Amino acid sequence: MTASLEQLRRCHFAVDLGAARTRVFLKGEGVVVDEPSAAAVNTRTGALIAVGTLAEQMTGRTPGYIRVVRPVSGGTVVDIDMAKRMLRHLLGDKVRRALRRKPRLRAAACTPYDADPLAQRATVETLVGVGARRVELVDTLIAAAVGCGLPVERPEASMILVCGAATTQIAVLSLGSIVTAERVPVGGNAIDHSVVSYLRHHHELMLPSQSVRPLHLALRGGDLATGGTGTTEIHGRDVATGLARSVEVDTAGLRGAIDIPLTGVLDGIGKVLRDCPPDLVADLAERGIMMVGGSALTPGLDQMIREATGVPVQVAERPDIASVTGLGAMLDGQVEPVVLDSLSVSA
């Protein structure tokens, strides 16, 4: 964490710019924005047509001169100007007026683990563009751990998986700091792509992009998560004819398709555990692994990790907003700082 708790208490709002969704926490109000990180632009005039949910619904349904863009990729701002415009509209007039009344407006933001200086600078410039005079950066892993209630300030191990749309971040925390961590370029988007590829190659069915996530959320808790051998009906478009068609798909095959990209996550967990001190690994055998992030709800993911590592795995109560909730707790002063002062010997 680059910002101290004292600095964070002076902040007025916090932002979690994710590849899938953007969330804003307003001090004293709670989470006031939770919208998709998407913007629809008229390429002829450069005008912004829509942001958030409406822009997400336009994906794949617009004429050629309207383009849906995502200014954030993997938790990193890749288009600063578009990110500023999107965030201004997501905040809305009411929130922006409330923020303008704050003297020397301060903001806090999450940054992915091991983010390079350019990525951090892009986040800072985006928030400065919406009026912030000073921006404090917090590691996403620390914020998410605080948000799901892990005792990160104690001298014992807490392991967390932040499962995002583009990346998965894995870390072991102790005494308020990251002991060892890894960022894996596998997330919900890779899982969606695997499902789409499986249906195309095995059933000659094209699935609309917006139907993938509801598909495996609908299967959560069913045969896909428990390793059963049932079937489910999926509606899509025939590859050859282009006509609407529905097929019965074996859920075991879907589970196999999802397992392929998740092997990268398991490799990352193994690397973190190998680099972790033995005493902390012993703590993890009892405390287990906490999963947060929107993709933590992927069916069968927690069971797969449990079987591969042999340690308990939990999914946070609200995994999707854990990071921004953790930032909010820091802004509200709900987190006590870890004091490690040197001991003095009296004469």
What are 73-88's pLDDT values in tens digits? Answer: 877 899 999 999 999 9
Torsion angles phi and psi, residue 314, rounded to 5 = -120, 145
- Token pair recorded at residue 282: 């012993």
Question: For residue range 311-339, what is the model confidence (pLDDT) as tens digits?
Answer: 899 999 899 899 999 999 999 888 776 55
On the question of pLDDT at 215 being above 80, the answer is no
On the question of pLDDT at 189 being above 90, the answer is no
Give me the pLDDT at residue 223, please: 47
Q: What percent of the chain has pLDDT over 90?
A: 41
On the question of pLDDT at 209 being above 70, the answer is no
Question: For residue range 262-310, what is the model confidence (pLDDT) as tens digits?
Answer: 888 999 999 999 999 888 888 888 889 999 998 888 777 888 888 888 8
On the question of pLDDT at 247 being above 70, the answer is yes
Q: Are 335 and 146 in contact (CB under 8 A)?
A: yes
If you average pLDDT over every residue of the chain, what do you get?
A: 85
Of 201, 191, 268, whose CA–CA distance to 224 is shortest? 191
Find out whether 166 is annotated in a ligand binding site. Answer: yes
Give me the pLDDT at residue 241, please: 87
Give me the pLDDT at residue 345, please: 53
Give me the pLDDT at residue 37, please: 93
Q: What is the CATH number of domain 3-142?
A: 3.30.420.40
CATH of the domain spanning 149-185+255-318, picked from 3.10.20.30, 3.40.50.720, 3.40.50.300, 3.30.420.40: 3.30.420.40
In whole angstroms, give the CA distance from residue 125 to residue 139.
17
Give me the pLDDT at residue 227, please: 53
Find out whether 294 is annotated in a ligand binding site. Answer: yes
On the question of pLDDT at 70 being above 70, the answer is yes
In whole angstroms, give the CA distance from residue 37 to residue 57.
12
Give me the pLDDT at residue 244, please: 86
pTM of the model: 0.86
Find out whether 295 is annotated in a ligand binding site. Answer: yes
* Span 85-105, average pLDDT: 86
Of 4, 3, 80, 68, whose CA–CA distance to 36 is shortest? 68
Find out whether 165 is annotated in a ligand binding site. Answer: yes
Boundaries of every domain in the chain: 3-142, 149-185+255-318, 200-254
Give me the pLDDT at residue 291, please: 94
- Token pair recorded at residue 174: 């102790």
Q: Are 298 and 315 in contact (CB under 8 A)?
A: no
Find out whether 296 is annotated in a ligand binding site. Answer: yes
In whole angstroms, give the CA distance from residue 113 to residue 38.
23
Find out whether 167 is annotated in a ligand binding site. Answer: yes
Question: For residue range 248-274, what is the model confidence (pLDDT) as tens digits?
Answer: 877 777 777 888 888 889 999 999 999
What is the longest distance spanned by two Cα atoms in the chain? 89
- The answer to whether domain 3-142 and domain 149-185+255-318 are alike in fold is yes
